[in-house]
Structures are given as structure tokens and as C-alpha cells.
Amino acid sequence: MLDAKIPAGDLNSKWTSYKDHCKLVNPANKRKMEVIVIGTGLAGASAAAALGEMGYKVKAFCFQDSPRRAHSIAAQGGINAAKNYQNDGDSVFRLFYDTIKGGDYRSREANVHRLAEVSGNIIDQCVAQGVPFAREYGGLLSNRSFGGTQVQRTFYAAGQTGQQLLIGAYQALERQVALGNVKMYNRHEMLDVVIIDGKARGIIARNLVNGELERHAGHAVLLCSGGYGNVFYLSTNAMGSNVTAAWKAHKKGAYFSNPCFTQIHPTCIPVSGDHQSKLTLMSESLRNDGRIWVPTKQNDTRKASEIPEEERDYYLERRYPAFGNLVPRDVASRAAKERCDAGHGVGTSRQAVYLDYAAAIERYGNIEAGKKDMHNVDPAAIVSMGREVVKEKYGNLFDMYEKITGENPYELPMRIFPAVHYTMGGLWVDYELQTSITGLYSLGEANFSDHGANRLGASALMQGLADGYFVIPYTIGNYLADEIRNPTPSTDDAAFVQAEKEVADRINTLKNINGTQTVESFHKRLGKIMWDKCGMARNAEGLTKAIEQIRQLKEEFWRDVKIPGDINEMNWELDKANRVADFIELGELMCMDALDRKESCGGHFREEYQTEEGEALRDDADYMYVASWEYKGNHNWDLHKEPLEYEVVKPTQRSYK
Amino acid sequence: MNLTLKVWRQKNNKTKGSFETYQVRDISSEMSFLEMIDVLNESLVMDEKTPIAFDHDCREGICGSCAMYINGKPHGPWKGTTVCQLHMRAFKNGDTIVVEPWRANAFPVIKDLIVDRSAFDRIIQAGGYISVNTGNAVDGNAIAIDKYNADTSFAAAACIGCGACVAACKNSSAMLFVAAKVSHLALLPQGGPEKKTRSLNMITQMDREGFGACTNTGACEAACPKEISLTNIARLNLEYIGAGLTVDAG
């Protein structure tokens, strides 16, 4: 039975009470405790830095050439915090409530409330580190709106918020490296977790420069390895983002929760051809000012500029007047798909909708004219002034769009379409962020805990930093306090020898297949199966078929994959083969989970379960649980259900109308 | 379009490298430059050859992984653009394109187009941070920061650490990289207490890593994909000289 270890007491006092009563490790003992951190994104870098500052000995690993390159760096729009600086009625409770509702009532109240409680501390900490958030002329912090909320609580640094937050965490991490508290292992990939006497005690890592396998021992292991969106091949994730660390832990006994909960982001640059290697996000912040529309007529091939106002369907504003263009991501994505499926898509592929800035440019231009007390202004001058304002707010995003598409978004509406962006599912963790393996923790996107079936914008950065800076420093002590008598295990222990052998055998097997098809070709095929049958809309027939196809793909992969080069050298194809092999297995589990969940909620939309208006139809009586899967061998998993109990919020049908 | 590529191939840091010539066919102008290399690599794998190793990750111009000269220019012909954002519209049918790794002593080649940029991490370790432990912060709005300074600080903090500035510099100087970090932190009141030691220690580390000195030619600024301003180097010089004159010798 899964025990989430939620502290007793009322919701407001749980975290305070936990902190007041958890065990502590004294400074002399902290120096003797070693913690291994996998991944250096916001969760990993902040955890490694914070634990180093506390005096623990930390070993941090990343597969990139520097910890600063982790994919958190690409987050654009912002980070939420319940500061109420805008005096618009925000509070810890409202942030908590919006996040629970946004997640379609499939996340834990206690975890989410804690997240909202520490959100303000994150902003303070980042400011102290020198994160240059956007400011108003008075020198105070600026905010903007994001989807699924009616207050302005998003802090930002132009369209590069993730970069600035990660650089802050990276610098804090490098400071600990300089002080000797953290040892950094760049270009290393974790390929297994080592378990001794039922506790995570180390890892096997591959040095990606020379191919050597290394054993690293510690008192605890933190997996901060990000999400698994690349199972779809095309996603907004970085090319190297992968599930391998989490998947290895899963196969060693860590439960994997809600794998089918994936987030399809509504505003990405559409696919342009078969060569496409990844998709690029256009920040949700663009929906603050942009208006989304399609032609009212089906199969309308006219240019956007030739379609008069009365023949444009601003379908989000029409369907959801209360939230308009700022409905949550799952709702906006499905609405775009619905319009395109109904024949209203635009662009050569007809798989796109318009995101139009003309109205915003005019509005801002008029405001500027008003500020300068200008009257009877030439419309061209209004547009010019408006463009300057838009450029200051979103300039880098507009530039990026132009580089990729070759079109000028100040003149033409942008074409956008939904794309895989984030995965709410992940390793099961309890309130302390510990997985079902003792001593193995998971932080940030790699765990499942805070976003339910749909994540609200600007909440991923908040969760990554909350877990790393403000949660794990307390909860890990509660475990390590009982480990102070145990020295770091020897890497000659039989468990290390065995784990290394298994990793080496797998690499040898892969390399010796000597087949005829590239790793990339398998990854593309997996991605197509997943996108077609386990993407924005799913049904029992498609999922059943997908499971069958993925099983065949797995068999074919292990019989016919072709990997060039040698094992004992830098070999990106081999690294990728290792990752794709794990994605294939994960894909099967995602489809099983999606098939098993006979309801629609958040990003999981089962076509069989929808309201008359085409909205997601939840089944709280039968599915208000966390689906946690235990690996039992090839194609075989056991399902464990952790019931979700709502003590404060009363689940209702989510409405953004 | 059909293109000829001349690409630097080097097995590892112990062997000598050389240029290899490849023909690529039916390249779409919609592809990114890296997607064009993906196509070439797929065909190399099928021909039992070793694909070209190159650093890349986010492919959105923000992680700073990708790094290569294209026809002698860091990140290629487009201004303010990383190579992952460069698209094949920049080239025409029949072009010959020369692709090389960063050339700088402080960035030794690991394999093909991949170099070791860990020197940048060590420069940050020398002082590219504000020493504030987690949990010590005052309220974010307790420190009002002049918007101009906040914006200028942000513009410097936009550096992605790709190393194009070093690659563009005839002296292989890392001054723009160091200057961006020193400016980012010196322009904020939070960075004030450590500003003297920061600039001195980061410059010392830069020299120790084998980067050259700055002669103000401005090639770094021209090549920078994030268009980090040369003004930051002036600010670094001011900080450095001021610190050298006033810091306690102890």
C-alpha cells in the first residue's frame, strides 16, 4: 500500500508542522553524508547548491558539457508566486486553488499547498542571487498573467525566465563547487541505480567522453532528470532530454505514476516537414496580448490579410468568454485541434491556427499616442509605436519565430499548433519527495506530484525550485538522520559489481546487434505511434493497437538497430540508442495507463468520455487516484492506486466559460 | 538544394584532425543547419561510417551547446543567431560550406566539432555569483532596482556561454564572457559587496585558463548570438582597475 506520508493537521499547518518536527542532522554529521544528484536543471542545480550550502557532500551529474545547459534554460514565460504585489486579490490559497483546479483535481492537496506556501520565498531567493527579473519604473518587480488564472502573479525576465533562474541556480552550484562542497560530473549519464539492503546507495554512470563506466556511492540519490516528452520524438524538449535515469530507477522498483498525463502546449511553431528534429514553443505569455483565430469558412485558402474581420472566428473568446485566450493549455490545445479537424486550419499543412498581434499593436500604439498627447495620428504611426511596445515585451520570441519560419510576425499573424511540452506524470514520490525505493528521491518534472492531469503555465519553474531550494533540504535530513552511523558504502560491494555488469552487458548487446536501421528511425516511428494514438485525443481502440505496435517495435529494435562507432569512445548514437530503448518501454506503459484510465481529465482526453460540448468528462467516483505502476518484468506491470482525498477543495467540473 | 560540406573530423584529443568532404542532396530551405547535418549523419550511419559529433541540445538558441564556425564565422552568416537557429534559407544550391570546431587553446577539441568549454565553468567558480545561501533572502521588493540598471543587467545576463566571443577573437580572449557576468552582477545592488574580488578573481582565472588579452577589436560583439554589448567590456575594465587600486592586498 502506498503511503504518501501526508502530515496530520489542517492544510495550512501541515508543512510548518512537518518542519517543526522532522529530524535534523548536525553540522559535523552533514560533512560525512554524501548525496548524489542526477540532473542540473532547476530542481537538480538548486538541490545540489542548497545541500552543499548546508554542508552535505554532493556529487552532481549532467549529460551536457556544463550544468548551465540543462533544459530548464529554455523555459520562456515566467514563474508564479503568491506575492499579491499587484493588489489583485492573490493569496497562497488562490495559487493553491488555481493549481489544483488547473490540474483537474488529480494532484495532492498537501503537496500543492506547500508549493504555494514556498512560492514567495523562491522569488526572494532568486532576487538575492541577482536574477534580473523585469521591473517597473519605480524599481519594483513586474508581473504578468498566465493561463488558468485571473490574477497577475507571474514574475518574468523577458521571454528568458528559465534561463535567468537556471543561471542563478547554476551560479549558486558553481559557488559550492569552488568551496569544495559539490563535485560536478559533466558529460556523465546515469545508467543505473545501485541498491544495497533495500536502500539506494549509489549509481553507475557512463563517462560520455571516453565511454568508461563509473561507480559512485552515496547515502542518498536524487533524480532531477526532467520529463519524458521526447517519447513523442517531436516535442519542445531538448534533443538530449530523456527518461533513462527515471526509467532505470523504475525497473529497480520505483513506481511510475500517471505516465499518460502529458501536456500538449497550444502555441508552438507548426511542423514544416519530415526533416523536423524538434519543435519550438512560442511562450504562453503571447496569449496575454495575442488573439487566436481561424477563418469561419472551411478550407479557406486566402491569406490572413484578405480575410475580413467578420469572417474570422476567435474561437477561444467565443467558447470561453471568462478566460478568453488565457484558458489553460489543455483546453486551448484541444480547441485548436477541434477547429483544424473541422477543416478550419491554416497554412500549407492546414494544421495550424493564427495567433494575431494586429489588435494588440493598435491598442498599444493608441496608448502611446495618448501618453504623448498626440491627436489625429496617422494609422501607420500608431502601428509603428505599437510595434515598439510589443517588441519590448516579446521581442526575442518574435525574432525566434522569424528565424524559424522566415515570416515577419509584426506584419503577418503567427501560425501556431499544439506540441508536446511537459509531462505531469513521473516517478511516484511521497510528501518528502522520496520514491518507493528508500533513499531514492525525485524532484522537479521527473516526479509526478504537483500538477495533476494538467500543469498551469509558469508553474514548472516554481515546482523545480521549490523542490530543490525549500523542500528537499528539510525532508532529506529526516532520512539521513538515521543514516549517520552508516559510512558511504564501498564501490567494491557486490551490488555495484553486479549493477555495472548489467549496464556493460546491455551496452554490449546493443552495440553487437549490428542491424540495418538507425536509432533515429526507430525513435521517429515510436513518436508517430505515440502522437497518433496517445496524443491530444485517445481512445480504447487506438491505444490497444498502439500497445501492440510498440511491442513489435521493441522486438524489431533489439533485433535490427544499427549503432556505429565503438563503446570506449564518445559515441552519441550509442547514448541515443540507450535512451530510445527506454522510451520504447515507457511508451508501452503510457498507453496502458491511458487505456486503464476510462475518463477524461486535464491533458488526458479519452474521446469516449466527453461532455456534449466536447469538454473533458471526469469520473471522480472511479478514477480519483494516482495510478502508480510497479515494473514486474517484460510487458508486465502491477497497478497500485493512491486515492486522492480532497479535504478543502470541492472538485467540480472545470469551467473556464 | 545540393551542397558540398567540408567538415573538420578528429577522432579524439590525441589524434590529428583533417577536413573531410561530403555531398548532401535535396536539402530543403526550411531545414535548420543542424537538421541538415542530421540528414548527413543518418546517411553516414547507413554507409558504415562514423557520424559527425557536434554539441547541440535545446535547438532554440538558448542552451549555448551548439558551437561551430561556418565558413569561418562563429555560428554562421546570420547576425544574432546561434547555429541551431540558422536555417538553410541562408544558402543556395551548389554552395560549398566549411564547418570547423572553435579554435582556441583554452577550448581543446574532444571530437570532431566538440570542444571542452569547462574553462568557462571554472571562471564562474572564481567569482561569477553572489554569495547568498538559500533561505537568507529579504522580500523581493525590499530592494528597489532602477529599471535601466535592471534592464542593462538582464541584457548582460542573456549570455549563453557558447564561446563564440572567444572563437571570433584573434587573441582568443574571453573578455566578453567575463564582462557579461561582471556587468550582470555589478549593475545590481545585490552584487555590490563582492564586486571588487569578483572582477579580479574572474580575470585571474581567465588568464590561468589560457585565454588571451583584449585588444578591443569588437569581433566578439559582432559574433555574439545574443548581441552582448562591447560596453560591458568597458564596464569590466572600470571595475577591474577600480578594484585593483582599492582592494585590500591581504
> Does B110 contact A570 at a Cβ distance shorter than 8 Å?
yes
pLDDT of residue A268: 96
Q: How far is B228 from chain A (nearest CA, A)?
A: 14
Give CA–CA dist A588/A554, Å, rounded: 10
In a domain, A328, yes or no: yes
Residue A573, CA distances (Å) to A396, B14, B19, B41 in order: 33, 21, 22, 10
Q: Where residue A352 sits, what CATH number does that domain have?
A: 3.90.700.10
pLDDT exceeds cutoff 80 at B233: yes
Q: Are residues A382 and A512 in the same domain?
A: no
Q: What angle do CA A526, A527, A530 make, to 5 degrees?
A: 85
Residue numbers of A between 39 and 68 with CB closer than 8 Å to B: 46, 49-50, 53, 64-68
pLDDT tens for residues A319-354?
Answer: 999 999 999 999 999 999 999 999 999 998 899 999
Q: Are residues A406 and A501 in the same domain?
A: no
Q: How far is B62 from chain A (nearest CA, A)?
A: 6
Test the A interface: residue of B63, B110, B138, B204 with most A CBs within 10 Å? B63
User: Which burial class, exposed, middle or buried, applies to B149 when counting CB atoms under 10 A from its CB (0-12, 13-18, 19+)?
Assistant: middle
pLDDT of residue B247: 76
pLDDT of residue A100: 97
pLDDT exceeds cutoff 80 at A240: yes
Q: Are residues A383 and A271 in the same domain?
A: yes
pTM of the model: 0.97
Identity of residue A397? L
pLDDT of residue A653: 85
pLDDT tens for residues B42-52?
Answer: 999 999 999 99
Which chain A residue shows the shortest CA-CA distance from B139?
Answer: A124
pLDDT exceeds cutoff 90 at B113: yes
H-run or E-run covering A638: strand A637-643
Residue numbers of B between 40 and 59 with CB closer than 8 Å to A: 42, 44-46, 48-51, 53, 55-59
Of A418, A448, A463, which closes a domain?
Answer: A418
First to last CA, chain A: 39
pLDDT of residue A8: 96
Residue numbers of A between 482 and 511 with CB closer than 8 Å to B: none
Domain map of chain B by residue range? 3-110, 117-246
pLDDT tens for residues A107-140?
Answer: 999 999 999 999 999 999 999 999 999 999 999 9
DSSP 3-state of A194: strand
Q: How far is B212 from chain A (nearest CA, A)?
A: 22
In a domain, A540, yes or no: yes
> How sure is the predictor about A283, in pLDDT bands with cuts at 50, 70 and 90?
confident
Q: Is B85 an 8 Å CB contact of chain A?
A: yes
For strand A154-155 and strand A182-185, is the pairing parallel, antiparallel, or unpaired? unpaired
Of A372, A387, A418, which closes a domain?
Answer: A418
Chain A and chain B share a number of CB contacts under 8 A equal to: 221
Q: Are residues A505 and A413 in the same domain?
A: no
> How sure is the predictor about B237, in pLDDT bands with cuts at 50, 70 and 90?
very high
Region B215-234: what's the mean pLDDT?
A: 97
Average pLDDT, chain A: 96
The grid coordinates listed for A515 are: 542491424
Residue numbers of A between 527 and 586 with CB closer than 8 Å to B: 562, 564-565, 569-570, 572-573
Nearest-10 crossing angle of helices A109-129, A14-21: 70
Test the A interface: residue of B57, B131, B160, B190 with most A CBs within 10 Å? B57
Q: How far is A34 from chain B (nearest CA, A)?
A: 19
pLDDT of residue A656: 86
In a domain, A281, yes or no: yes
Residue A253, CA distances (Å) to A154, A204, A335 in order: 38, 16, 39
Secondary structure (DSSP) of A21-67: HS----HHHHTT-EEEEE--SHHHHHHHHHHHHHT-EEEEE-SSSSG
Q: Are residues A409 and A543 in the same domain?
A: no
Architecture of domain B3-110: Roll (3.10)
Q: Are residues A517 and A386 in the same domain?
A: no
pLDDT tens for residues A529-579?
Answer: 999 999 999 999 999 999 999 999 999 999 999 999 999 999 999 999 999
Q: Is B98 an 8 Å CB contact of chain A?
A: no
Architecture of domain B117-246: Orthogonal Bundle (1.10)
> Does A186 contact B51 at a Cβ distance shorter than 8 Å?
no
Closest CA to A506 of A578, A568, A587, A573: A578
> How sure is the predictor about B7, in pLDDT bands with cuts at 50, 70 and 90?
very high
Region A222-246: what's the mean pLDDT?
A: 98
* Neighbouring residues of A285: CB distance < 8 A, sequence distance ≥ 6: A76, A77, A78, A144, A146, A154, A156, A159, A393, A394, A397, A457
Are the CB atoms for B67 and B115 separated by under 8 Å? yes
Give CA–CA dist A113/A369, Å, rounded: 44
Q: Are residues A529 and A632 in the same domain?
A: yes
In a domain, A552, yes or no: yes
pLDDT exceeds cutoff 60 at A281: yes
Are the CB atoms for A318 and A432 separated by under 8 Å? no
> How sure is the predictor about A15, in pLDDT bands with cuts at 50, 70 and 90?
very high
Closest CA to A232 of A590, A472, A543: A590
pLDDT exceeds cutoff 90 at A285: no
Give the ipTM: 0.98
How many domains does chain A contain in total?
2
> Does A128 contact B185 at a Cβ distance shorter than 8 Å?
no
> How sure is the predictor about A584, in pLDDT bands with cuts at 50, 70 and 90?
very high
Of A366, A396, A418, which closes a domain?
Answer: A418
pLDDT tens for residues B27-63?
Answer: 999 999 999 999 999 999 999 999 999 999 999 999 9
Residue numbers of A between 161 and 190 with CB closer than 8 Å to B: 162-164, 167, 170-172, 174-175, 177-178, 184, 186
pLDDT of residue A72: 98
CB contacts of A84 in chain B (<8 Å) are none
pLDDT of residue A395: 86
* Residue A200: DSSP 8-state: E
Q: How far is A46 from chain B (nearest CA, A)?
A: 9
3-state secondary structure A148-188: CCCCCCEECCCCCHHHHHHHHHHHHHHHHHHCCCEEEECCE
> Does B42 contact A518 at a Cβ distance shorter than 8 Å?
yes
In a domain, A411, yes or no: yes
Q: How far is A19 from chain B (nearest CA, A)?
A: 14
Are the CB atoms for B141 and A85 separated by under 8 Å? yes
pLDDT tens for residues A67-86?
Answer: 999 999 999 989 999 999 99
Which chain B residue shows the shortest CA-CA distance from A136?
Answer: B147
pLDDT exceeds cutoff 60 at A455: yes
- Domain with A576 in it: 494-643
Secondary structure (DSSP) of A296-338: SSTT--S-GGGS-GGGEE-HHHHH-TTTGGGS-HHHHHHHHHH
Q: Residue A408, CB half-sphere, CA atoms under 13 Å: how many?
A: 4
In a domain, A83, yes or no: no
* Neighbouring residues of A369: CB distance < 8 A, sequence distance ≥ 6: A375, A377, A381, A382, A385
Give CA–CA dist A284/A148, Å, rounded: 11
Are the CB atoms for A215 and A236 separated by under 8 Å? no
* Neighbouring residues of A457: CB distance < 8 A, sequence distance ≥ 6: A77, A78, A146, A147, A148, A154, A284, A285, A329
Give CA–CA dist A6/A648, Å, rounded: 14
pLDDT of residue A327: 92
pLDDT exceeds cutoff 60 at B249: no
Residue whose cell numbers read 562591447: B230
Q: Where residue A539 sits, what CATH number does that domain have?
A: 1.20.58.100
